[in-house]
């Protein structure tokens, strides 16, 4: 039974501090106050609430962070260096070295894949940037054309000859013999 601070408990349980406080309020975790009044959490209660605590992430596990993968690779390299010394005297150590080399190869393969994924994502972002730049440039051209069109003075209408009435629009009158006016259409 070890007493942990909220920050330590959050790190070991891979939760946020807010989640730890929320679980304390709900009664899922027991809180303990030390003699100086500091809030502590019992590690046994933390293990009951969240399962195994302090478990290291496997480098090949889905969702393992790059930092965890890097730490695992460094640990394997240290183990391989230490095993090389022991390899000369023990037959079982040779098997352990082979297993560690396999793990190292798997980690290096995963790193290569992650780097390739990062390159592909970068290329996709750059392609999207080009597309957006082209769209923005097209919109800027339309805005400039409209601005120029609005800045030009309105053309004055050309003077026109007076309109002649159409023959079928209005009746044409003639004087008939006898002094009357008559429409001829």
pLDDT tens-digit map of 18-39: 999 999 999 888 888 888 888 8
Going through the chain in order, the beta strands assigned E by DSSP cover 3-4, 31-33, 39-42, 173-175, 181-183
pLDDT at 142: 93
Tell me: pLDDT of 113 over 80: yes
Q: At a CB cut-off of 8 Å and minimum separation 6, what does 28 contact? A: 49
- The pLDDT confidence band at residue 87, using thresholds 50, 70 and 90, is very low
Rounded distance, CA 11 to CA 5, Å?
10
For the residues 116-126, what does the mean pLDDT come to? 88
**What would the pLDDT profile of 143-164 be if each residue is shown by its tens digit?**
999 988 888 777 777 777 666 6
Q: What pLDDT is attached to residue 21? A: 92
Q: What's the pTM? A: 0.32
């Amino acid at each position: 039974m070890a007493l942990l601070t909220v920050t330590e408990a959050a790190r070991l349980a891979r939760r946020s501090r807010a989640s730890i406080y929320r679980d304390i309020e709900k009664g899922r975790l027991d809180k303990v106050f030390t003699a100086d009044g500091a809030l502590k959490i019992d590690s046994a209660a933390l293990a009951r609430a969240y399962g195994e605590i302090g478990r290291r992430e496997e480098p090949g596990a889905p969702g393992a962070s790059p930092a965890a993968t890097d730490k695992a690779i460094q640990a394997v390299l240290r183990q391989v260096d230490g095993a090389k010394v022991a390899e000369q005297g023990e037959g079982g150590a040779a098997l352990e070295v082979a297993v560690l080399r396999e793990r190292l190869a798997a980690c290096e393969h995963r790193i290569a894949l992650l780097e390739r994924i990062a390159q592909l994502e970068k290329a996709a972002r750059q392609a999207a940037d080009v597309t957006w730049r082209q769209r923005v440039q097209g919109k800027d051209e339309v805005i400039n054309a409209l601005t120029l069109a609005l800045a030009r003075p309105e053309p004055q209408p050309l003077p026109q000859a007076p309109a002649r009435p159409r023959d079928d629009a209005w009746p044409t009158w003639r004087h008939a013999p006898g002094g009357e006016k008559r429409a001829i259409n």
